[in-house]
Amino acid sequence: MIRPPPQCQQSGFTPPGLPALRRSALALGLLLPGCASLEPVSGILAAVNIGSVTAIGRTVPDAAISAISGRDCSVVRLDRGQGYCRPKEPPPVPPPTCTRSLGSVDCWRQPPEASPPYRGLADGRAMLTAAQEADRTRRWPGLW
């Protein structure tokens, strides 16, 4: 350990670089074992990441990045030749409007303007409800 000269000890003066020197000496002391001390830690991290990929389809860092960015990101997607994060999905296209015709069914992407409007054959909604749209555009993993 480095000690200040006796004249500095009597006056209560500490050289400005001494605490930083102690911290760097401590950090260098922690590095003395080299890579041998990291083997158990890296084995545990590898096991956690393998279990994470098996359970949720992404590694622990992927899950953290996904939670921060709000997008679905995974190294598994890179392995499949896709982008790291899943692209945002465009809204679904409206289904064609189909009406009965004489002996057949006619379908249009853009329904013809008629008065009164044509009644379609399909039951249900042609567009997403507000709740469905909110579910489609929510952030990953649905925390917000």
Residues 77, 71: Cα–Cα separation, whole Å = 13
Q: Are 132 and 89 in contact (CB under 8 A)?
A: no
Span 58-90, pLDDT tens digits: 888 888 888 888 888 888 888 889 998 888 888
Span 26-66, pLDDT tens digits: 777 666 666 666 667 778 888 888 888 888 878 888 888 88
Burial of 65 (0-12, 13-18, 19+ CB in 10 A): middle
Tokens of 82: 């896709």
Lowest mean pLDDT among 14-18, 109-113, 121-125: 14-18
Per-residue pLDDT at 144 exceeds 50: no
The DSSP line for 3-63 is ---HHHHHHT---TTHHHHHHHHHHHHHTTTGGGGGHHHHHHHHHHHHHHHHHHSS-HHHH
Q: Are 117 and 126 in contact (CB under 8 A)?
A: no
pLDDT band with cut points at 50, 70 and 90 for residue 121: confident
Residues 42, 33: Cα–Cα separation, whole Å = 15
